[in-house]
Amino acid sequence: MRTRSLARRLLLISAIWSALALLVAGVILVALYRQSVERGFDERLDVYLKTIVAELASGGPPDESNPIGSLGEPRFGLPLSGWYWSVAPADGGPVIQASRSLAGDTLALPDGFPEISLSGEAQTASVTGPGGDPLRVVSRVIALPDGVRYAVTVAGDATEIRADVAAFGTRVALTLIAMGAGLVLAILLQVKVGLKPLERIRSSVQAIRVGEKERLDGDFPREIAPLASELNELLDSHREVVERSRTHVGNLAHALKTPLSVILNEARDSEAPFARKVEEQANAMQVHIAHHLDRARIAAERKVIGSVTPVQPVVDSIARAMRRLYEEKGVLVRASEGSSARFRGDRQDLMELLGNLVDNGCKWARRDVMVDVRDAVDADAGRAMFEIVVEDDGPGLAEGDRERVLQRGRRLDESKPGSGLGLSIVSELVRLYGGSLELKSGSEGGLRVEVRLPGI
């Protein structure tokens, strides 16, 4: 199964290669140790063989009149002990002398073993002993002064070799397992340290997203520095694109508003029959242009990375402005205080959103408009949110009209000033920022607007 974690992938690859290297090293160590043990065992057997040869050379023919001693190894005298020696004619005749441990049995040597060698060197072989145990055999052909050749053979219990090698293999395995665990921990630490610059980049990008930074700063390793540089260039390019979009929107607004104003003025001053129709259509064009220009501006500003706006100062500013604007009407705008909420977006967007909501409330209120800001959490996404509640004590809004009032240019009461774009712009802003908007009945019978927006 493919892993999507870079750290896990590096750790897995390093662990596999380390395990293979340790396994090969363990096999080689055990093989070398086996060779060393076998060589030492053969040398020990060769010492016994040379002792027998020396006794034969100094004592005459190897018959019962010249018995060979115990060779300093008591196991040669214990029946079927696994340690044996024998002397027999090299041409394959019956055994002349043998250790008591053979108990009248003979060693089953391979055919033609030992071979007659001009150098007289000892030869080794592995055979099965009388008791069924594996034996390590050393044999040599010698010629005595009487001219007869004899095969002198000494055998030792090979299970000692196996036990020694097995014990060494266990120790090697435990040691290599401990080394492997240490290597894995070292590799894990190395991977964590090696990937730390990427974690720094992730943290910096997150800080840029929430508005704490504007660029990736700090020194990065040579391999990561090009990535950081490209990200900074991407951020710069993004800001330039957004700025150009804003400029084009502003230019388009000025280019269209002036000709439309001229048309409207001429239509109002004209007494021609078609003047009223021209004025009506020009007003409709102004509404459409204002709506689409606002949408374009909102979309451009929404994509500015890293904008963060404290909410309370904006609430206070809007409340003061609306109190002055509706002072003659006697509407009191009250705002909650002490909120620490921060809006993850542009200040101008928040001001426009709040301004439209409070302005709409003031138009319909009899005396009071209440603005409240509180913290909230998006239960589905787990995001930090904040909630703005604007409530007035006006006539309220029928449930059937709540969807219609959010449509662009829709005005339920033509006697009220405005273009009918206020709540439409609010709805568009909320949607672009991934928030939610609900229209409800207030406690005093007026309209209660609840807006949820992403916070920090």
Give just the sign of the alpha carbon dihedral 373, 377, 378, 382: positive
Last residue of a domain, one of 252, 287, 302: 302
| 39 lies in the same domain as 66 | yes
Query: Is position 70 within any domain?
Result: yes
Helix 196-209 and helix 159-194: axis angle, to 10°? 30
| 378 lies in the same domain as 438 | yes
CA proximity to 447, closest of 455, 456, 439: 439
Tell me the chain's radius of gyration from C-alpha atoms: 50
> How high is the pLDDT of residue 70?
64
* C-alpha span between 408 and 25 (Å, rounded): 77
Last residue of a domain, one of 281, 302, 323: 302
The distance from CA 167 to its chain's CA centroid, rounded to whole angstroms, is 41
| 143 lies in the same domain as 254 | no
Cβ–Cβ under 8 Å, residues 26 and 172: yes
| 317 lies in the same domain as 234 | no
Query: Is position 432 within any domain?
Result: yes
| 295 lies in the same domain as 378 | no
Residues of the chain with pLDDT under 50: 1, 3, 409, 411-420
Report the number of distinct structural domains present in the chain.
3
| 294 lies in the same domain as 344 | no
Q: Is 428 exposed, middle or buried (0-12, 13-18, 19+ CB in 10 A)?
A: buried
Query: Is position 248 within any domain?
Result: yes
CA distances from 430 to 121, 129, 299, 451 (A): 99, 93, 11, 8
> How high is the pLDDT of residue 1?
44
| 381 lies in the same domain as 316 | yes
| 278 lies in the same domain as 316 | no
| 387 lies in the same domain as 259 | no
Query: Is position 148 within any domain?
Result: yes
| 387 lies in the same domain as 424 | yes
| 332 lies in the same domain as 435 | yes
What rounded mean pLDDT belongs to the chain? 81
Query: Is position 367 within any domain?
Result: yes
Whether the model pTM is above 0.75: no
318: three-class secondary structure by DSSP: helix
Last residue of a domain, one of 241, 268, 302: 302
Query: Is position 71 within any domain?
Result: yes
**What residues make up the domain containing 323?**
309-454
Residues, the chain: 456
* C-alpha span between 267 and 269 (Å, rounded): 5
Query: Is position 220 within any domain?
Result: no
Residue with tokens 């002990």: 81
Cβ–Cβ under 8 Å, residues 125 and 137: yes
CATH number at residue 53: 3.30.450
183 Cβ neighbours under 8 A, 6+ residues apart: 15, 18, 22
Cβ–Cβ under 8 Å, residues 396 and 262: no
* C-alpha span between 400 and 50 (Å, rounded): 117
Query: Is position 348 within any domain?
Result: yes
| 281 lies in the same domain as 328 | no
> How high is the pLDDT of residue 316?
93
> How high is the pLDDT of residue 415?
46
HEC letters along 251-298: HHHHHHHHHHHHHHHHHHHCCCCCHHHHHHHHHHHHHHHHHHHHHHHH
